[in-house]
Structure 1
Amino acid sequence: MACGRVLVADPGIAGDREGGTSSEVDGSVGAGNEATGGGVGGAGAGGTTGNGSGTGGLFGSTGASDGGAGTNAGGMDAGSTSGGAPDGTGGSAGAPAELDCATARPSSSSLDLKYQVDVDDLPLISEIHGDLVLSEGVNRLHRLGCLRHVTGTITIRYTRNLPTLEGLERLESIAAALTIQNNDTLASMTGLQGLKTVDGALNIRSNLRLADLDGLERLTTVRSGIQIENNPVLASLAGLRNLTGTGAVALRSNPALRNLQGLEGVSQLANLLVRGNAALESLEGLSALETVYQDLTIGSNAVLTSIDGLSALRAIDQNLMISNNPELTSLDGLSSLERIHYGLEITTNPKLPTCEAEELRERTGVPQASVINNDDSATCP
């Protein structure tokens, strides 16, 4: 019997079908939508609006682009450069000055900082009541070294020469989303060692040199969900190893990622999407996952041979979709799965025995199933 229409509901990142556009998670929980189309982002606190256009959506920039000299001002970073470039790149950076955080005060409005001089001209800030955007010519963050909390979103995007996030070590919580995307030189999350809670979503996308997530070791909660996408050299999620709670996880098109180690503390998710990760060999790292409240999607992972990392999974409350995994040979990793509430779709896995998929269908009592284009000639014990 063919699988009927597959629906996705709140919360978090919606699982999408093969070929569908991705759901952008820029703020709080996005609205539920059919799994065949693009996702709808929620509105972030402090005025930043979610985007429903999928992976191409960006935040609008509203800040003025002040030019002028990048000179040091009034006890700011000792390494501030001098010269006429608006991004303050005309000189060499030295060691940052110590900050007297006892004098830091809250900012009552959002900050959109496009050039290094914009950062260097800031007073010391303990909290931002609104959003923080860092972009383009920003290359060091030490002047933000007293910041502990942001009531809206933090977006770090399109920076050309920001290799680390050093300077944000005192940051403990973000009340909406943290988005880090399209940064040319960012290599790790070093600088976020104090971050414990993100009440919105964590979006990490299209960072050319990001190799790992080291620096996020104290992060325990990301309430809306995590989307990690199109990071060409990202090989490890181990920096997330203390994460215990999140709404959903989407891992898409990270060609250097080999396993999912770092997610061992996560026992339940709204949605889990693992798609298009060309070097992914196993789902190791999901050993604690027991329940998926909506959809579990595993698709187009070129060298994935098994799903053994899901050995603790007992229930999927909506749909399980496994498709276009050319080297997948076994479903043994789902041996503990007892229930799929709505739909099962196992298609176009040429080395996967059809009889294993049929056995899973019978065991879970799923009401709607589509099992096609797998290995019909293989036998099962």
Structure 2
Amino acid sequence: MNILILAFLLLLISCGALRAQCPEGDVILNLQVQVNYFEFNWPDCDSIHGDLFIGLDDGTSNIHNLLALGNISYIQGTLHIGKNNLLETLHGFDNLNTVGEDLIVLQNETLQNFSGINNLRKIGNTLYLINNSSLENLEGLNNLSYIGKDLVVLENQVLINLDGLEQLDTIKNRASIMDNPLLSSIQALSDLDYLYELEFSGNDNITSLTGLEQAFIDNSIFIDENMGLTSLDGLGSLEDFSGSLLLVYNPIIQDYSVLSDLDSLYYLHLSGCDSLTDLQVLENLIFVEDWLSINSNPGLISLAGMSNLKHVGSLAIAGNNLLTNLVGLPEFKKIDNKLSILGNGLQSLEGLDSLVEVGGDFTVWFEDNLVNMNGLGSLSSVGQKLWLLENNQMEDLSGLEQLTAVGSILEIDFNDSLLNLVGLESLDSIGRWLWIRNNPSLSSLNGLESLQYVGEMLSIESNASLTDINALNHSITPLYHDIAISENELLSDCSVQAVCETLQTPGAYVSISNNNEGCENKPQVIQACLTNTSPGLEILPECVLSPNPVISLFKIQLDTNHEAVFRLRYPNGSLLIERIFIRDHQFDFAFLTPGVYFVEIQVDGQLIMKKIMKI
């Protein structure tokens, strides 16, 4: 019996010893003494079943060697080595082969390489190498073959190359190599066979991307502001690449020949490519699903080279100062989404002659050499917004003679030389708003004679030379749309049919102010409409309902002394209240349950209907 008890006690002691071989959870080592005592406290520990933190956030750690950690082969969580200003090597991690989550090496001022961590083979998530001011290369990571998420190499001031990563063949997500000013080679990545994304930015000393020849890049390539980069050699073949490619301000690249492999992309953005004079390098490109953006290329004089392109989702041509026309664009009949033409040196829109439809927004902005819209002779519809903004030499809109419909908004703003709207003679409908504002030379709205429909609002504001809006002397439906005419200092006659009919329409909002005498305010226009229009035209009395939304007291003000009938209806039309009143009246709606109601005011044979909200 005693022997059995003794055996049981020995078993318990043995189990306790096994459990105590390694600490539970995270391990935090701020000082050298804590590193030293780790070996004393857990002499047989080979695994950390949590995160391991080495260093102090304020940079005052005195850790200078990690030899006491020599048994550790596995870290389940993150290994964080940060702000250790005395740590020169990683000797002590000689047996470490796996980090389950991230390896973060951050702001270690004297660390020159990764000597001492030579057996590391796998990092489960991300390798972060950030702002290590003495780090010259990555020697010591020579056996690392797998990174489960990202490689981030950022702001290492004296990093010259990535030597040490020669065995790395897999980065499951992104490689971000950014702002390493002395980096001159990434040749060490030559065994890499897969990347989801590449971000290469602000590495001013590198001249090529040699080292990436074998890597298949799956989703996106972003190469940005590498001031010494002269060639894209090293990207290898892009024949199978179909993701997003962004080349942004790499000013001395001379060789773009690798782009000739491209045939299908999701997104293409070429910006700050100073040596590009045309787009012959895109001669094999057939399809761009989303945006094709050609932006701020100071040497670009022609778009020639894209004759095989059959489809773009959206197209942006912007900031190309030497580009005088759009000749070279494919003969698109439709652009599915947006077309943006901004701040080029264009003298015409020639090159868009076959375009019939823009499915989304169409913008022409800051094109100071355009005098009209010639080159758009086939365009018949814009699905969303048509913006014509700050084109300072544009005199009229000739070239848009086939345009019949704008699906949402037509905005014509800040065009200093615009005299009239000639070119819009076929425009029949605008889905929501027509805004004509801040065009100081505009004298008439000639060109709008065929406009039949404006869905929500017509706004004519701050056109200093405008004297004539007779192009609107016809009906525009629906009659309940809103109208705003203001700050047109020479405009004295607003009594055109479109305005007069809206003034007599229940539910329409009309604002007229600060124009010339005769159109200075709404009463003047009402009087002119009554005088100038045919018998039978009646203008509804002004009706003010307030407040809306209403809590309790609700006021009605009419500018007539005639008897009026007030009715309040539920949304389904059933009658709730009916009262007779004259001119002004106040009702108490405190008893109403919150929700939407409809007010009717019947006066002088006319019916005014408005929606109110009870809260």
TM-score, normalised via structure 2 length: 0.44
| Residue from 336, 340, 348 that aligns with 2:296 | 348
Q: CA deviation at 1:153?
A: 0.3
Query: Is 1:110 aligned with 2:70?
Result: no
Of residues 137-146 and 239-248 in structure 1, the stretch that sits farther from structure 2 once superposed is 137-146
Q: CA deviation at 1:238?
A: 0.7
Measured in 1, the distance between the counterparts of 2:292 and 2:203 equals: 26
Letter in 1 for 2:75: I
Measured in 1, the distance between the counterparts of 2:277 and 2:185 equals: 24
| Residue from 230, 234, 245 that aligns with 1:285 | 234
Contact map agreement 2:99 2:122 (CA 8 A) in 1: yes
2:69 matched to which residue of 1? 122
1:275 matched to which residue of 2? 224
Q: CA deviation at 1:73?
A: 9.5
1:87 matched to which residue of 2? none
Partner SS for 1:321:
strand
Gaps of 5+ in 2: 1-25, 56-60, 329-615
1:245 matched to which residue of 2? 194
Higher relative contact order (CA 8 A, sep 6+): 1
Structure 2 counterparts to residues 323-342 of structure 1, below 5 A: 323-342=271-290
1:376 matched to which residue of 2? 323
1:159 matched to which residue of 2? 108
- CA 1:104–1:352 in structure 2 vs 1: closer, same or farther (change >3 Å)? farther
Q: CA deviation at 1:330?
A: 4.5
Contact map agreement 2:231 2:255 (CA 8 A) in 1: yes
1:92 matched to which residue of 2? none
Measured in 1, the distance between the counterparts of 2:240 and 2:319 equals: 28
Measured in 1, the distance between the counterparts of 2:99 and 2:32 equals: 27
Partner SS for 2:66:
helix
1:26 matched to which residue of 2? none
| Residue from 268, 281, 294 that aligns with 1:320 | 268
Cα deviations across residues 98-146 of structure 1 (Å, max 9, x unaligned)? xxxxx77222121111153572332511110000011222321110011
Query: Over the residues paired in the alignment, what is the CA RMSD in angstroms?
Result: 2.7
Equivalent residues, number: 290
- CA 1:344–1:312 in structure 2 vs 1: closer, same or farther (change >3 Å)? same
Measured in 2, the distance between the counterparts of 1:261 and 1:364 equals: 32
Measured in 1, the distance between the counterparts of 2:276 and 2:297 equals: 6
Measured in 2, the distance between the counterparts of 1:259 and 1:150 equals: 32
Letter in 1 for 2:31: D
Contact map agreement 1:306 1:331 (CA 8 A) in 2: no
Contact map agreement 1:344 1:361 (CA 8 A) in 2: no
1:367 matched to which residue of 2? 313
- CA 1:118–1:223 in structure 2 vs 1: closer, same or farther (change >3 Å)? same
Measured in 2, the distance between the counterparts of 1:69 and 1:281 equals: 50
2:31 matched to which residue of 1? 66
| Residue from 127, 130, 137 that aligns with 1:178 | 127
Contact map agreement 2:65 2:89 (CA 8 A) in 1: no
Contact map agreement 1:70 1:117 (CA 8 A) in 2: no
Partner SS for 1:350:
coil
Cα deviations across residues 267-303 of structure 1 (Å, max 9, x unaligned)? 3321110010001111001122234443211011121
Measured in 2, the distance between the counterparts of 1:366 and 1:225 equals: 27
TM-score, normalised via structure 1 length: 0.70
Partner SS for 2:300:
strand
- CA 1:67–1:221 in structure 2 vs 1: closer, same or farther (change >3 Å)? closer
Of residues 292-301 and 147-156 in structure 1, the stretch that sits farther from structure 2 once superposed is 292-301
Q: CA deviation at 1:333?
A: 3.4
Q: CA deviation at 1:69?
A: 9.8
Contact map agreement 2:268 2:291 (CA 8 A) in 1: yes
Identity of aligned residues (%): 25
Q: CA deviation at 1:64?
A: 5.4
- CA 1:319–1:196 in structure 2 vs 1: closer, same or farther (change >3 Å)? same
Structure 2 counterparts to residues 185-264 of structure 1, below 5 A: 185-264=134-213
Letter in 1 for 2:46: R
Partner SS for 1:367:
strand
Letter in 2 for 1:327: S
- CA 1:123–1:284 in structure 2 vs 1: closer, same or farther (change >3 Å)? closer
Of residues 174-183 and 323-332 in structure 1, the stretch that sits farther from structure 2 once superposed is 323-332
Measured in 1, the distance between the counterparts of 2:273 and 2:27 equals: 43
Contact map agreement 1:272 1:292 (CA 8 A) in 2: no
- CA 1:150–1:352 in structure 2 vs 1: closer, same or farther (change >3 Å)? same
1:297 matched to which residue of 2? 246
Gaps of 5+ in 1: 1-60, 76-102
Letter in 2 for 1:257: I
Q: CA deviation at 1:257?
A: 1.4
